[in-house]
């Protein structure tokens, strides 16, 4: 072969050679990407792992877990809603053994189960719980109870008896923790074992997930307060365990993702191939893409099955690409809810996958991983501006009233401030699908701004109304 044609061939093949090199194991690029993204945030610590072809191929850890050391692949983190996939897997295991029917009504296993509509109560099925298509709204996903009560999970499910559905069962999607709490109670009832014991015995132990459980000590959790990472507890009582109470490590989740990629085809599977297929298949309702305890989407054109998780002091993400045989998990000990962007763990996990398939990572949001913090600063500035304007507005109103203006006497400012205060305090939290007390736990800085803004608006309306009434009588 002549030299010129050979050089031309190498030039043409160069992009595919680079992509193949990245996809075959160049984890230096992955480590550099993770360090860069993590360095742009205030997350105290981060652990991550990559699965390739059924084995743990790479791990990494950055920062301080709270004792002066960096996280290892075996450091437990709270994984939040990633727990939902474990609950769904447990249900499908019981389907395999014939103890649960996926399309059976919930009342077959919990005869006392009720929501506000008796007819709808009888129609909600197990599959609808796991696919978030039961009609139970997002706002019903938060519940507080006495942690000393040993029957906490059942009490939580019984508390749904007055819950109004937002849609008929099986007709619409709404992400709700309540669905998985009910499913967890079904696991507990049909297996005859406490929910956490079943998960430990039937999933964690067979997969060798020795750094996982529902009551673990690991990385110190943190909450973001306008860019400051403050230590915080991440306790989740037993009523919420099936929806988001598990702790796990990067290496353990890697083992879990390897089992998902194997999909029941290898020796000693924890679920049948039909069961795995059902877990990963999106529900045929709307275009949400939610399967059974898993979400489905595309990242840089690659079909993936994924789920994120957030607790009051942690954030996590896991995904796997069946066609590429790749799995990625990212765990952070800072709760970083996505505000007009993806949370930190989700952004990094997607970026790692992109690099592994030879693509460039994308960073959502107008300011990248700092988008959420930028929005918080904007909300803080808006709140401070409103508080500063309050006495100035009262002064201006006092001057206008002195002129005897009837328009000033019936100033719409009073009604506007009163309506704004009620909206922020009473209507906005349900509109966002989260009660105010839960917002204070998961997003304390933003929730405090909400309360301060509402209180300021109501106080301003009260003072303005008092001024108008007093001057009007004078």
Using the predicted structure, report yes or no on whether residue 395 has a pLDDT greater than 80.
no
How does pLDDT run across 59-116, given as a tens digit for each residue?
999 999 988 899 999 999 999 999 999 999 999 999 999 999 999 999 999 999 999 9
pTM, 2 dp: 0.88
How does pLDDT run across 365-381, given as a tens digit for each residue?
777 777 888 888 888 89
Number of other CB atoms surrounding residue 345 within 10 Å: 29
pLDDT at 346: 93
pLDDT at 146: 64
Lowest mean pLDDT among 188-202, 235-249, 259-273, 408-422: 408-422
pLDDT at 389: 80
Please tell me whether residues 185 and 257 are part of one structural domain. yes
> Which residue's entry shows tokens 């059974």?
292
User: Which of 362, 384, 403 finishes a domain?
Assistant: 362
Tokens for 86? 């474990």
- Domain membership of residue 424 (yes or no) is yes
Please tell me whether residues 315 and 383 are part of one structural domain. no
The rounded percent of the chain whose pLDDT value lies above 90 is: 59
Over its C-alpha atoms, the chain yields an Rg (Å, rounded) of 26
pLDDT at 145: 72
- Domain membership of residue 51 (yes or no) is yes
The rounded percent of the chain whose pLDDT value lies above 70 is: 89
- Domain membership of residue 3 (yes or no) is no
Domain count, the chain: 2
Question: Does residue 463 or residue 188 have the better pLDDT?
Answer: 188
Distance CA 121, CA 178 (A): 14
**Taking residues 15-44, what's their average pLDDT?**
72
pLDDT at 13: 37
How does pLDDT run across 201-219, given as a tens digit for each residue?
999 999 999 999 998 889 9
Using the predicted structure, report yes or no on whether residue 308 has a pLDDT greater than 70.
yes
pLDDT at 12: 38
Burial 299-328 (b: 16+ CB within 10 A, else e): bbebebbbbbbbbbbbbbbbbbbbebebbb
- Do β-strands 45-52 and 55-63 pair in parallel, antiparallel, or remain unpaired? antiparallel
Mean pLDDT of the chain: 87
Distance CA 280, CA 274 (A): 10
Cα separation values, 375 from 312, 341, 430, Å: 19, 10, 21
Please tell me whether residues 281 and 420 are part of one structural domain. no
pLDDT at 400: 67
Please tell me whether residues 288 and 386 are part of one structural domain. no
- Domain membership of residue 2 (yes or no) is no
CB 438 within 8 A of CB 446: no
- Domain membership of residue 11 (yes or no) is no
How does pLDDT run across 153-180, given as a tens digit for each residue?
999 999 999 999 999 999 999 999 999 9
Number of other CB atoms surrounding residue 148 within 10 Å: 7
Please tell me whether residues 336 and 439 are part of one structural domain. no
Provide the residue range defining the domain that includes 460: 371-473
Please tell me whether residues 273 and 405 are part of one structural domain. no
Please tell me whether residues 318 and 196 are part of one structural domain. yes
pLDDT at 418: 84
Nearest to 37 by CA among 309, 378, 341: 341
pLDDT at 252: 98
User: Which of 345, 362, 379 finishes a domain?
Assistant: 362
CATH of the domain at 331: 3.40.710.10
Distance CA 336, CA 452 (A): 22
pLDDT at 390: 79
Please tell me whether residues 358 and 376 are part of one structural domain. no
- Domain membership of residue 13 (yes or no) is no
Please tell me whether residues 290 and 159 are part of one structural domain. yes
User: Which of 362, 396, 418 finishes a domain?
Assistant: 362
pLDDT at 205: 97
Please tell me whether residues 355 and 407 are part of one structural domain. no
**Taking residues 40-52, what's their average pLDDT?**
94
Please tell me whether residues 358 and 249 are part of one structural domain. yes
Please tell me whether residues 431 and 329 are part of one structural domain. no
> Taking the CA of residue 256 as centre, how many other CA atoms within 13 Å lie in the half-sphere pointing to its CB?
30
Confidence band for 465, pLDDT divided at 50, 70 and 90: confident
- Domain membership of residue 6 (yes or no) is no
């Amino acid at each position: 072969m002549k030299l010129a044609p050979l050089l031309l061939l190498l030039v043409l093949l160069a992009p595919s050679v680079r992509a193949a090199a990245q996809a075959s194991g160049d984890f230096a690029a992955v480590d550099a990407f993770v360090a860069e993204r993590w360095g742009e945030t205030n997350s105290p610590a981060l652990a991550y792992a990559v699965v390739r072809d059924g084995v743990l191929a790479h791990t990494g850890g950055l920062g301080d877990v709270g004792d002066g050391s960096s996280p290892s692949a075996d450091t437990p983190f709270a994984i939040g809603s990633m727990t939902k996939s474990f609950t769904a897997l447990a249900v499908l295991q019981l389907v395999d053994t014939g103890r649960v029917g996926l399309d059976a009504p919930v009342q077959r296993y919990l005869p006392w189960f009720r929501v506000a509509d008796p007819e709808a109560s009888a129609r909600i099925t197990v599959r609808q719980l796991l696919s978030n298509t039961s009609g139970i709204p997002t706002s019903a996903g938060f519940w507080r109870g006495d942690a000393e009560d040993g029957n906490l999970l059942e009490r939580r499910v019984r508390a749904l008896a007055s819950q109004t559905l937002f849609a008929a069962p099986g007709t619409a999607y709404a992400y709700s923790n309540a669905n998985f709490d009910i499913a967890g109670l079904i696991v507990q009832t049909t297996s005859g074992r406490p929910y956490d014991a079943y998960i430990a015995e039937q999933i964690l132990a067979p997969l060798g997930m020795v750094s996982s459980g529902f009551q673990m000590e690991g990385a110190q959790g943190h909450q973001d307060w306008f860019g400051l990472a403050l230590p915080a507890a991440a306790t989740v009582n037993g009523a919420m365990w099936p929806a988001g109470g598990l702790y796990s490590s990067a290496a353990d989740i890697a083992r879990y993702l390897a089992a998902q990629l194997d999909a029941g085809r290898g020796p000693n599977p924890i679920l049948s191939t039909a069961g795995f297929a059902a877990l990963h298949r999106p529900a045929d309702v709307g275009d949400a893409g939610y399967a059974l305890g898993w979400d489905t989407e595309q990242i840089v054109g690659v079909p993936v099955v994924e789920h994120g998780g957030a607790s009051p002091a942690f954030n996590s993400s896991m995904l796997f690409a069946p066609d590429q045989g790749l799995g990625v998990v990212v765990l952070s000990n800072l709760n970083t809810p996505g505000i007009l962007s993806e949370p930190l763990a989700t952004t990094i996990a997607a970026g790692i996958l992109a690099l592994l398939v030879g693509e460039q990572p994308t960073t959502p949001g107008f300011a990248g991983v700092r988008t959420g913090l930028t929005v918080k600063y904007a909300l803080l500035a808006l709140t401070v501006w409103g508080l500063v304007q309050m006495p100035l507005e009262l002064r201006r109103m006092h001057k206008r009233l002195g002129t005897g203006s009837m328009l000033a006497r019936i100033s719409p400012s009073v009604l506007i401030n009163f309506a704004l205060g009620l909206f922020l305090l009473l209507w906005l939290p349900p509109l966002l699908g989260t009660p105010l007390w839960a917002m204070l736990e998961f997003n304390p800085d933003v929730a405090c701004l909400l309360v301060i803004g509402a209180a300021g608006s109501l106080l301003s309306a009260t003072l303005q109304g008092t001024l108008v009434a007093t001057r009007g009588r004078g």
